[in-house]
Chains A and B, each alone.
Chain A
């Protein structure tokens, strides 16, 4: 039994709306051996992991999985349950699991929920070893394995403070993301994000923390703000410590000036020896030591969040109760067996250690670790009450006197902390400090929260929520508008147009797509960025006010979605699919199921924008938690009419105008001849793309006039949407640069070609090697039906095929085509483009299929530059709504193309493309 691959799907995915691990397990020899056919396997498993009795499995009752084991189930299913159980034993209680056969016999996809990826992968490896040991009856140390996994959990899971904040954020539907292996977490997306690290937030000032670190500085600031604090001074050495103690008057406290968590602090010192010993202990922690007045009373911790008291706890030092039988050491060991006590901060309580300070404390009371204290005697192991040194905490939030709370709030404000733990010493927290000589002894930045979250006594307080509520006031869920776009064809154009519309609405837009990552107008990456990592980058960017994320299938399968929720999910089409046969996606239905993930991630108040003409897309509607908006050119499409009659929303074309409708209400948004990308409505697939984007913008609440204006200024030239139906002119012929690489895209192109009157059609075409043979042949056939002259080349993406193989398959298809008369083959992609452009004569129509878009576009630009020295290429910009785009005639025989003709006033007449003979094409 081996793992072919182990994927962490870190966002919503094809299995679940939460992160899961997907392991491709090659069962090897075990594929034919169910659990009941392996002698002793079931009994050993049940003995080793008795907790699995809780797994109900498909039977839906306690012991369900054990029943399945006994009656015979397969190893992959066993593995699924074992890995869930191991995670549970390591401290992560998860129960979601799946085991599904893949298309390859004996290879199973085992899927399970996880919380920490490192831990989950370790549990998976361990589960495999455990299953094999149980099956092969070899020795296996279950306890050691669990201990190791617990250790890994301890190191990698979020600590209790950070976790409480994250959980509070989740309850408020605020997205979150760990930024590093430690406690740094991003809450919210883009411009709305805040960062936290345990109880420290992006609002926590560095200076305030430095002040809180310095206890003497803190005292000065507290006193100036009218907060009672004990008299105290820094001291130079042990002698000075005693001199100062005498000056202040004993008893005193000795502590490091910059310590934290009570380390090196000794309290209630009265003799010179005590003070000097305490000085030495403090000196080990810090170069600077202070001596201050000891104030008797209880030790309280008040948690201030955003200027308000969030919780308060009384803290008692580590102590044990004598029973006349056990020694102090034994009593401590017994206390440490409390399951709530763990090393460090990972649990409610920390273990008690009899260290130097403990020994001193015992000695002060005439005890040693081996003394047997009399029954009922309280033995202090520490004087200070910090939880991290074994103390306990009792919630007293409801008892805090308002004046005490006010002082604590003042203390936090004076030091400058948004979240602060104020240490107060007082006899009674229910009375004002001033009347009982109570004081604030410390102000702590990034205070521990666990004493409030899980006090040893009293009511737990959800202080994580208080912090989240401070960072995100009610109504703010930290989200920015996010749109996800997927589909087989058109998704990059739809993504770009939607981003263009959102930018027109005044937002700083982060966009990811096949062409790269764009922050506003700036392209920061030029690789294919339609995966979850790029999406995550955009959503982590603190400038981004809205995100449009093209979401390709590869990323969804490999790592899940890069976001947890979106306001709009646009599916352009599925048709016959594309890239079939990869990663067990073999049919268009399989592909639809993958792409459906973005529809399932729609927020309840968001919308899915679905192609009403595409049955597999329409079938996604029931999976959308929010509204559905359909789009199609034809408004009488039955899906649309029935949706509208049920009060739903749709976008379609009527009388050459784009119409937005909801129930019986309709708005005519804009005439198609004011949407240049559609060439006056004559390029049907571009009309569909425009409808999809416009419906998406509508769903996101962009005002309709802004949408209309933005649609009028969106240009599908080689700048705006390189490789997506860029129309230009070369020597009186027309060139269309397009990226279309599947049957559906080709058919759409062929359809749009019918609107061009050109007599001779040429196509430069290739396909990537990872397509099925049948797909390549089919594409060849469509090209053969479409053009007179086909030029074949092999791109960089032959992906494992032999040289010439793709061309041969294409030729097979072309041979079935009805129109093609001439076929050329060119080896090199660059030469192929030049060769194709050289073929153009006036009146020709050339389809340049740009496989490597940037390179192809560059080559075309260079070619055109050579063609036209005195008319260098200029980026196309359209500055005014309604100004017409013009492909000016090349009357001089030179090429001018895609330059705006601002001089032409008047209503937009679509694209004017003047061939040399002067005939208007449109």
Chain B
């Protein structure tokens, strides 16, 4: 049994039985991390399985195969060796591989040549090296306040804070019993919205209720949906639902949700018409597609009931049946947002205390001030989804991933500290390290890639050997100065901006940094 030395990167310690090793940086096979196996055939099989799992842009180099995620690659290898079915493997990989939001941010960082590394199996991305490190976790940055995030979840408090900032919010309150819901209905005046206090966007949100029966039914359904029986009854704000994405005090994108109807033909039932709607290639799993499939959830059923229909009703020819009042947020309206509305959204994010926020607002026409139209802000969400902006159903995609990266790193080049790599020259490495320290540069010396994660380092001197490159790969992707004799190591040469001889290294390297 082969045991790798423990690594801090969260990889599992158990490894498969075949001779196999991970070269986690530029290596003799490739500039990308590879899994080195004992046969090209096995490598090809592992590649195939990885592609099946959804990994992308991978190449094979003889017995070495590039990989995207170590855990996934390891599972693929295990599956390749044991011939186990691929479906559980795919599920495992889907769990582990980056979700679409984080994936987009990861790719955006790579496009800007900002070092990025995922840590653990969640959505944590470590950007930059040493003192220039920043972090992202989905659309949440290291400047996102935890308290701000939880204020967004606590709707009555969020409302108070928004109102204090002069942002219109719908009248309403939390109720815990059906009787109280009715009392709220009377004090607010119909039509009202009924939704769980803790609900996520759109789930069990009953809109435009007017009768006591509707409110009681909605209360019961909403009370079941949330984590607690606390339900919000608030004034219905007529208009369309919008999501405005605020990043670092700027409006990054805005999307609108349009009501969804089906058109009857006198032949098909509502259910059949909905099935047809769901054939739209844009509808699918939330992670991949801009639109959700339409389901007969309690909200949709309530709409049908109000129209005197059930899923099995045959819709008369020409009749329009309302399925979703706010559909999915799928229409990009970034360029239409009135400056006063943008201001209001910025203020909402600031008041709640979030640097990145998704503002849900309802207004008929986003191109006119919402205060003129009786619109209102409903919610301020931390860690907003990005896909609706990156991949809207209608309209222009917005580079919100780049905007978030720009928020963390306004200038180029970004996130890098000087890296020196000494190949087979440990004494020179030490000398360089000391010389840097003497100059007042907080330098780190070692051979582990984790050095780049040290939050205080201003420069790193890597001490590597030809053997370690062959066994593990390089601990970095790019370096400023390589110290090596003669032609030097070919891989290091490829990833170094400059090469110096050990004898003159201290002077030349310092001059180059």
Contact = CB atoms under 8 A, between A and B. Distances in A.
Contacts of A536: 164
A217 B164 contact: no
Interface in A175-205: 179-180, 184, 195-197, 200-205
Interface string A385-419: 00000000000000000000000001001101000
Given A200-B146, A226-B454, A220 B119 contact: yes
Contacts of A247: 3, 13
A214 B135 contact: no
Interface in A227-247: 231, 233-234, 240, 243-244, 247
A223 interface: yes
A205 B13 contact: no
Given A206-B149, A207-B144, A519-B166, 6 more contacts: A184-B147, A207-B142, A221-B8, A247-B13, A413-B455, A543-B350
B124 A207 contact: yes
Contacts of B135: 207, 416
A511 B9 CA distance: 54
15 contacts: A179-B157, A179-B161, A196-B147, A206-B149, A217-B120, A217-B122, A220-B8, A221-B119, A225-B454, A231-B6, A413-B456, A525-B166, A541-B166, A542-B350, A543-B165
Contact of B147 (A200, A207, A231, A541): A200
Most chain A beta-carbon contacts within 10 A, residue among B3, B156, B167, B455:
B455
A834 B120 CA distance: 74
Contacts of B141: 207
Contacts of B161: 179, 540
B164 A202 contact: no
Interface string B146-162: 11111100101100110
Interface in A532-577: 536-538, 540-543
A445 interface: yes
A541 B165 contact: yes
B277 interface: no
B294 interface: no
B339 interface: no
B165 A205 contact: no
B455 A206 contact: no
Contacts of B157: 179-180, 184
B143 interface: yes
B124 to A, nearest CB: 7
A243 B6 CA distance: 15
Contacts of B148: 202, 206
A204 B450 contact: no
B347 interface: yes
A225 B165 CA distance: 41
A256 B156 CA distance: 33
Given A217-B122, A413-B455, A543-B350, A204 B165 contact: no
Interface string B1-21: 001001011101110000000
A743 to B, nearest CB: 36
Residue among A196, A203, A210, A247 having the largest count of chain B Cβ atoms under 10 Å? A210
A210 B144 contact: no
B437 to A, nearest CB: 15
Contacts of A184: 147, 151, 157
A154 B145 CA distance: 28
A485 B164 CA distance: 20
Given A233-B13, A247-B13, A206 B122 contact: no
The 10 closest A-B pairs by CB, nearest first: A524-B166, A224-B453, A537-B164, A224-B450, A220-B8, A223-B8, A217-B120, A206-B146, A540-B164, A206-B144
B10 A217 contact: yes
Nearest to A193: B353
Given A214-B120, A214-B122, A217-B124, A224 B454 contact: yes
Interface residues of A, number: 52
A799 interface: no
B453 A225 contact: yes
A195 B147 contact: yes
B163 interface: yes
Contact of A542 (B14, B160, B165, B453): B165
A208 interface: yes
Interface string B447-463: 00011011110000000
Nearest to A540: B164
Interface string A884-896: 0000000000000
Given A207-B135, A207-B142, A217-B122, A180 B154 contact: yes
Contact of B455 (A203, A225, A240, A445): A225
A517 interface: yes
Nearest to B455: A414
B140 A220 contact: no
B261 interface: no
A195 B353 contact: yes
Contacts of A234: 10, 12
B292 interface: no
A207 B140 contact: yes
Contacts of B160: 179, 540
A241 B180 CA distance: 51
A216 B10 contact: yes
B470 to A, nearest CB: 24
A219 interface: yes
A517 B166 contact: yes
A200 B161 CA distance: 19
Contacts of B347: 543
A327 to B, nearest CB: 40
Contacts of A517: 166
A195 B6 CA distance: 40
Contact of A197 (B120, B124, B147, B456): B147
Interface string A592-612: 000000000000000000000
B322 interface: no
A204 to B, nearest CB: 5
Contacts of A202: 145, 147-148, 353
A537 B151 contact: no
Nearest to A226: B454
B351 interface: yes
Contacts of B453: 221, 224-225
A225 B146 CA distance: 23
A223 B14 CA distance: 20
Interface string A246-265: 01000000000000000000
B382 interface: yes
A669 to B, nearest CB: 33
B353 A233 contact: no
